[in-house]
Amino acid sequence: ARHGGYTQLAEPSKQVRKIPRSIHDISNGDHILGFGAELAEDHPGYHDEEYKKRRSYIGDLAKLHKIGEPIPCLEYTDEEIKIWGDILEKLTQLYPTHACKRYLDTFQLFNFVPDRLPQLQELSEVLMMRTGWQIRPVAGLLHPTDFLNALAFRTFHSTQYIRHGSNPMYTPEPDVCHEILGHIPLLADPEFANVAQVIGMASLGASKEEIWHLTKLYWYTVEFGTVKERDGVKAFGAGLLSSFGELEHMLSGEDGYMPIFEDLDPFKKLPKMNYKDGFQKKYFLCESFSDVASKLTAYARSLQRF
């Protein structure tokens, strides 16, 4: 969960980090930048003590997790399951017209149902079998260096708490619905999974500026990427696929302005990421998954990391 929202995203620190040689060298708890239980005043859950308690409980469990151990099973409350169920039902109406073909295919593998919120452990097992990826629980927003580095080791850091029920259609921060509906299906697609790993490999030993650019590349592909298909523009970015507000907005522009679509060029300066103020103003378009893969690989190779 590499995101912003409700809190100022700190610039990557100047401190020189040791390059991790395996996932064991990356901590899921030392560099959390935000989104723990300390919610900012403008967060919809700020006045909800129960909600904050629940998030710190779930966050503390994540910090205790050790690589190789099963991810703790969370018993979700009826209220939490209802949020998940509502989101799933609404999104599955939009997917046939708004989601890319490869997402529709991998989504089928998981048999998501509205009355059961899936456990990260079982999803991690499916990914491991399909593409060799694993999920690691994380308490909140992880430092971009740690988050991106972990992708090199086919590890995806995932939150386990759910968004506040007052605005299910959109949250600027990651939550378990965003991870499960946005990220996990496509990580079961071998080509997509490789794209994510390429960004991770390029980030190993990267300078502060390179990390920032890679964060943007990640943001405009894995989080908000779009692809041209025969019947129009479709979403493959997780931030689109987990938000029925933004997914609808992407194609309709009904809320007042039409988003801009631009072809992705990873060597060009990318626009500032929209963390706090709602939907993205610009989406980047790719021709196909192999187009994304070759563009990102070309950029990653230019850094001469591998």
Q: Residues interacting with ligand NLE, by CB under 6 A?
A: 3, 170-172, 174, 178, 223, 239, 242-243, 246
Distance of closest approach, residue 296 Cβ to ligand NLE, in angstroms: 19
Residue 20 site contact among Fe ion, ligand NLE, none (CB < 5 to 8 Å, cut-off depends on kind)? none
**Measured distance CA(275)–CA(280) in Å, rounded:** 9
Q: Which stretch binds Fe ion (CB under 5 A): 79-87, 111-119, 158-166, 168-176?
A: 168-176
- Residue 270 within binding range of Fe ion, rule CB under 5 A: no
Q: Tell the smallest beta-carbon distance from residue 302 to ligand NLE (Å).
A: 26
Tokens of 44: 């919809």
C-alpha angle 89-240-93 in degrees, rounded to nearest 5:
25
Say if residues 285 and 261 touch (Cβ distance below 8 Å).
yes
Burial 120-159 (b: 16+ CB within 10 A, else e): beebbebbeeebebbbbbbbbbbbbbbbbbbbbbbbbbbb
How distant, in Å, are the alpha carbons of 146, 229, 236, 293 from that of 296? 19, 20, 15, 5
Q: If binding means CB under 5 A, how many residues of this protein chain bind Fe ion?
A: 2
Asked whether the beta carbons of 282 and 259 are under 8 A apart, the reply is yes
Least distance in Å: CB of 172 to ligand NLE?
6
Residue 238 sits in the site that holds Fe ion (CB under 5 A): yes
Query: What residues act catalytically?
Result: 178, 183, 223, 242
Q: CB of 103: closest distance to ligand NLE in angstroms?
A: 14
Within positions 173 to 192, which residues make up the interface with Fe ion, using CB under 5 A?
A: 174
Nearest to 195 by CA among 171, 163, 227, 164: 227
Which residue spans within the chain are E strands per DSSP?
A: 32-34, 134-137, 141-142, 155-158, 226-229, 232-235, 260-263, 282-286
Closer Cβ to ligand NLE, 46 or 275, answer by number: 275
Q: Nearest distance from residue 38's CB to ligand NLE, in Å?
A: 18
170 contacts which partner out of ligand NLE, Fe ion, none, CB within 5 to 8 A by kind? ligand NLE
Choose from ligand NLE, Fe ion, none: what does 43 bind? Cβ within 5-8 Å by kind.
none
In the bound state with Fe ion, the residue whose beta carbon lies nearer, of 178 and 213, is 178
Binding residues among 276-305 for Fe ion as defined by CB under 5 A? none
Residues in contact with Fe ion by CB under 5 A are 174, 238
